[in-house]
Every structure is written in structure tokens, then in C-alpha cells.
Structure 1
Amino acid sequence: MLIFKKFTFDSAHALPNVPDGHKCKEVHGHTYQLTLFIEGDLIDQLDWVMDFAVVKKTVDPIIDIVDHKYLNDIEGLENPTCEKIAIWLWDKIKEGIPALKRIELNETPTSGVIYEG
């Protein structure tokens, strides 16, 4: 079974590696929507894959690192493309939630990335 939990955070960034004149080279911000997908069997007697409260408790401190921050200043996110942010989040979250199967990170309602490690 696959369960999911959504999180949002607001961050600013600039993409230093894009060509001069590209609008994303300038500092700008997004309200990111992160969806985690966790795979597993139902736990006996509880009839769930994982407690959503445990997911939240595990992920909230990671979200706090990026929420209302300038992403370029965070170690490992010097070129914070949506893809790079997804990999960074995956690496942090996977440590606490080994059953993590996939993440979706949207930087706008119509643009984002799906990452499965």
C-alpha cells in the first residue's frame, strides 16, 4: 500500500548557472508543495502503514531548515533547482523514513519534479 502526506514551505532562491538575462537568475520565491509517498504493508492491529503523526514529526524539522530561507545559503543547495531540492529533501527524509518510496515537489501549481531516489 502507498500512503501520502503533504507539506508546504516558502523559500527564495536564485539559479546562478542559468544564462544571463534568464528570469530565474534573479532572486525569487516559491510556495513549494511537497508530497511524500510511503510504501508498506498494514501494521497488525493498527491497520495502517505508518502513523501520519510520526511522518509529520520526522519531516517538520527538515522543512524548518528550508522554510522562509534563502536556499542558496543552505549547504548542498548552492544551485537550488527544483530537481536539486528534491534530491536534498529525499536524502534528509529517507534517513528518518526508510519506507519512503517517492516524493513530488511542486514549485508552482503546474511545475515540479517526481523523485524516487
Structure 2
Amino acid sequence: MRARLSKEFTFEAAHTLPTLPEDHKCRQMHGHTFRLKITVEGEVDESIGWVYDHKRISDAMKPHLDRLDHAYLNDIEGLESPTIERLAAWFWRKLEGDLPGLAEIEIYETPISSCVFRGEF
């Protein structure tokens, strides 16, 4: 049996989007409460009944959340122009080695605006 499981996280951060036109409001420094949903997929281990422990996702995310929480994202290598699309790809690269079966990362920068990334570069 195959299953998908997801775990959500939040962090607070500021950023600017320097490649936007001068008069675009998002070119100015602003912040968000980012919400991430990490989804993995795999075979259910019948001996315990799950794909794997949600704590494994939390452990893989911890150093990245510690680095990003209350940070200025533009100062982080690889996030010099941190759109949510680029942020999703950044997380994918950081997590794919630690989370076999990583299937999807969804990032919300507002409660109604999100990006879904499935590892296609």
C-alpha cells in the first residue's frame, strides 16, 4: 500500500524582490508568516503501519527553519531574490537527501497565495 503524508510548518521572515519594477510594492522590504506543507510518499511499512514517522520530517526541517525564522531572506545564499517559487526549490534541494519519497512542497506567503513545487528543475 502506498500513502502520502504531510506536515506543516511556519516561520516569520522579511524579504525584498529586487528584480521587480521600482514602483512595485513587493520591491520594498516586507515580511510574511510563511506556511510550508512538506509531503512525502512511499510504501506503508506494514509492521508499523506508516510511511515513516512525522518526526523525521520535523528533524529534517529544523535546521532550515532555525536559519530562516526572523531572518532577511535575501541574505541567505540561493535566496537573493526570494520569490515563493525560489523558496520552494531551495527547500527541495535542502530536503531531498534527508526525506526519501519527497513528493511536494507547498509554500504560502499569505493565507490565500501559495506555490506548489514537485522537484522539477
Instruction: Count residues with an aligned counterpart.
Output: 117
TM-score by length of 1: 0.97
**What corresponds to 1:100 in structure 2?**
102
Q: Distance in 2 between matches of 1:31 and 1:3?
A: 23
TM-superposed CA distance for 1:44, in Å, is 2.8
TM-score by length of 2: 0.94
Is there any run of 5+ residues in structure 2 with no aligned partner, and where?
A: none
**What corresponds to 2:35 in structure 1?**
33
- SS of residue in 2 equivalent to 1:95: coil
TM-superposed CA distance for 1:11, in Å, is 0.5
Is there any run of 5+ residues in structure 1 with no aligned partner, and where?
A: none
**What corresponds to 1:14 in structure 2?**
16
Please identify runs of 4+ aligned residues in structure 1 that moved more than 6 A: none
The one-character-per-residue Cα deviations of 1:63-104 (angstroms, maximum 9, x if unpaired) are 111111000000000000110111001110112102100010
Q: Distance in 2 between matches of 1:18 and 1:12?
A: 16
The one-character-per-residue Cα deviations of 1:41-81 (angstroms, maximum 9, x if unpaired) are 11131100110111111111111111110000000000001
Cα RMSD (Å): 0.7
Q: Structure 1 vs Structure 2: percent identity of aligned residues?
A: 44
